[in-house]
Amino acid sequence: MIAKVSVVIVPIMAGAYVLVALIIIVMNVTKLLGVFVLIFESAFGLREVVGGALGAAMLQVLKRGYFYKAEMGRPLLLVRLPISAILSNKDSISL
C-alpha cells in the first residue's frame, strides 16, 4: 500500500521541488552573478587555502598511523603505544 502511494507521490514532490527552485532562481536572476562571485571568493581566499593545506597535512598523518620520534629516527606505531609511553622521553619502549 505505502509503496503504491510512494510511487505516485515521490515523483510529483521531486518535480515540484525542481520547479520551485527554478522559479526562485528566475525571480532572483539579477543577483545570480553576485552569488557566484561570493562563492568563489569564499572558497579560494587565503584563509581557506591555508585551512585546506593544514587539513590535507593532518589527513596524511592520520593515514600513515605512525610518527617519527625525533631522537630515535624510527617509526613507532601509535595504535600500539599507551599514551604514557608517547608522552615520556624514554629511548626504548616495550610493546
Q: Is the pLDDT of residue 48 over 60?
A: yes
Residue carrying the nine cell digits 619502549:
93
Do the bridges between strand 75-77 and strand 66-68 make them parallel or antiparallel, or are there none, so unpaired? antiparallel
Share of the chain above pLDDT 90, in %: 42
- The predicted-structure confidence for 10-47, as pLDDT tens digits, reads as follows 999 999 999 999 999 999 999 999 999 999 888 888 89
According to the model, what pLDDT value does residue 70 have? 47
